Structure 1
Amino acid sequence: MDSQNNEGRGALRSKLIKAGVGLVLLVIIWIIQPFTYENIDAGNVGIKINLYGSDRGVDNITIVTGRVWYNTWTTKIIEFPTFTQSVDYEPFVVTTRDAAEFQVDPKLNYHINSAMVPQIYRQYRKSLSEIEQQFMRNTIYDAYRIVANSFTSDSVMSNREKFEDKIQVLLTKNLGKDGFVYDQLTSAISPPASLRRMIDEKNASIQARLKAENEAKQAIAEATVSKAKAEGEAAALLVRARAEAEANRLRQQSLTPLLVQQLVIEKWDGKLPQYGTVPQFFKNITQ
């Protein structure tokens, strides 16, 4: 009986050991198994690269989207965003034709041509952030360097729009051929300190000249108004004087001897005028 019990317990122990080993093996297999999946989000493009086989390497790249299952031992998935990217670069210095040094602080907005993602990976074999800080930064620097070398320091400041248009043309061409679509470039261009002082002095001189011209125009306008006012007052005085003279003339013409005699009689108070007051007497009766 004891012998049978021992055999039963041994068989059970053996089964438990086998079950435990099997479970451990399943866990190990689950951990090390190579199959997994990648979700390619909207606004992104994934590329599937075969690492083994006769068609391995970057020559066999497939564009994938959505949920992609793959073997991590034999396949690699790399994801590139195709929505607009914004990169703020560190400032750098470029030299104009007359050896003036301008500091440029560029900020680039761009997006990737999704159809050219395989070509981008074949050519650079780097992540997008590495491409931005290496190839794309060098492309931006070269564009500024080439264009700045065709301008003088004065013409850069006075023809800013033309300067930036040439930068845009170069970047559109040089980035576009590798699958990077130019959207917008914001560049803060700072002239050297000496040129900045010259510009400030020139602006101050222009402001002073404009102020003097405005003051001169205002003085001329005020003088014109004063002259017109004086001429108007003089004309009014002349009109009044002429009117008064004409009235006196008419009064004198109307003073006939008979009328004078009648006026004397009407205004005489019965007293004879004293010596020296006769002219005033006649003046009173003629008014």
Structure 2
Amino acid sequence: MKRNIIIGVLTTIVLIMALAIQPFSFENIDAGNVGIRINLYGSDKGVDNITLVTGRVWYNSWTTKIVEFPTYTQSVDYESFVITTKDAAEFKVDPKLNYHINPDKVPQIYRQYRRPLAEIQQGFMKNTIYDAYRIVANSFTSDSVMSNREVFEDRVQNVLTKTLGKDGFVYDQLTSAITPPPSLRQMIDEKNASIQARLKAENQAKQAEAEAKVIIARAEGQAKATLIKARAEAEANQLRQKTITPLLIQQEWVAKWNGILPTTNAGGSTSLMLGIK
């Protein structure tokens, strides 16, 4: 009886130890990630050319290693650095890169760099970004960088697209945040202030000219109205003079006569209508 108990206990211990040290395990590859199988022993040791899909992957932990790489969009905010234009002006750049990894290139990336993604970002990718800015800046003057920011950043993005893309890093977006040197910043501010002052003076001149035109137009209108009124009165007077005749005057006098002859100082009455028959 005791012997059977001892055998049972030993068997249980052996099973537990076997389960504890058995090499088979699994890895859950989450969505947005891919895993690569690495053979640790044998003639084909190294990175397999097989990209494992998402899901649960079984493997022998004694002979195989599974490395998981994210393929969703990564956002890396790099430390600022200084670039120099071809006229020796120094600009501060604070880049922020958004990218993702081509799943088919994951084995190649691991085989080439043998580093976790975080280390690749702060090593190869960081140096590539800095070099892209420095190369492009050497073809621009300080003034052209500020006046052609879009062209400058497009050239940097083209360099990054080619350099990173060939290794499987797919460029999505880059924010440069370029800051000019203080002296150039002051010149730009003064230039902008001068332009604003000139525009303000031009607007004021245009406004004054418009107001003067309104005043002139009103004066011309009043003058024309006065002239038209004077002409109308003159023409009316001429018409009145042409229509007033002696006969018309006598008729008007008769129409208004009350029958009493006007008295003179001699005491007699004299008819003012002469020649009336």
Normalized against structure 2, the TM-score is what? 0.89
Aligned mates of 1:63, 1:252 — CA distance in 2: 117
Give the gaps of 5 or more residues in structure 1: 1-11, 275-287
Q: CA deviation at 1:267?
A: 4.3
Identical counterparts, % of pairs:
70
1:221 to 210, 229, 238: 210
Of Structure 1 and Structure 2, the greater helix share is in 1
RMSD: 1.9
2:52 to 64, 67, 72: 64
Q: Deviations over 1:211-265 (max 9, x none)?
A: 1111111111111111111111101100100110111111111121222233334
Aligned CA distance change for structure 1 residues 30 and 241 (closer, same or farther; 3 Å):
same
Does residue 258 (structure 1) correspond to residue 247 (structure 2)? The answer is yes
Q: CA deviation at 1:62?
A: 2.8
Does residue 121 (structure 1) correspond to residue 110 (structure 2)? The answer is yes
SS at match of 2:177: strand
Q: CA deviation at 1:271?
A: 7.9
Q: CA deviation at 1:102?
A: 1.2
SS at match of 1:83: coil
Does residue 101 (structure 1) correspond to residue 93 (structure 2)? The answer is no
1:31 matched residue in structure 2: 20
Aligned mates of 1:203, 1:55 — CA distance in 2: 66
Runs ≥4 in structure 1, deviation > 3 angstroms?
A: 264-274
Letter in 2 for 1:29: A
2:65 matched residue in structure 1: 76
Assess if the C-alpha contact under 8 Å between 1:104 and 1:190 holds in 2: yes
Normalized against structure 1, the TM-score is what? 0.86
Q: Deviations over 1:56-113 (max 9, x none)?
A: 124x443222321111111000111222222121222111112221111111111111
2:32 matched residue in structure 1: 43
1:243 matched residue in structure 2: 232
Aligned CA distance change for structure 1 residues 272 and 154 (closer, same or farther; 3 Å):
farther
2:156 matched residue in structure 1: 167
1:15 matched residue in structure 2: 4
Letter in 2 for 1:254: T
Aligned mates of 1:211, 1:51 — CA distance in 2: 75
Does residue 201 (structure 1) correspond to residue 190 (structure 2)? The answer is yes
Letter in 2 for 1:188: A
2:131 to 113, 130, 142: 142
SS at match of 2:129: helix
Greater Cα shift, 192-201 or 164-173: 192-201
Aligned mates of 2:81, 2:135 — CA distance in 1: 14
Aligned CA distance change for structure 1 residues 224 and 16 (closer, same or farther; 3 Å):
same
Aligned mates of 2:262, 2:112 — CA distance in 1: 135
SS at match of 2:94: strand
Give the gaps of 5 or more residues in structure 2: 265-277
Q: Write the mapping of 1:80-91 to structure 2, written as runs, cut at 5 A.
A: 80-91=69-80
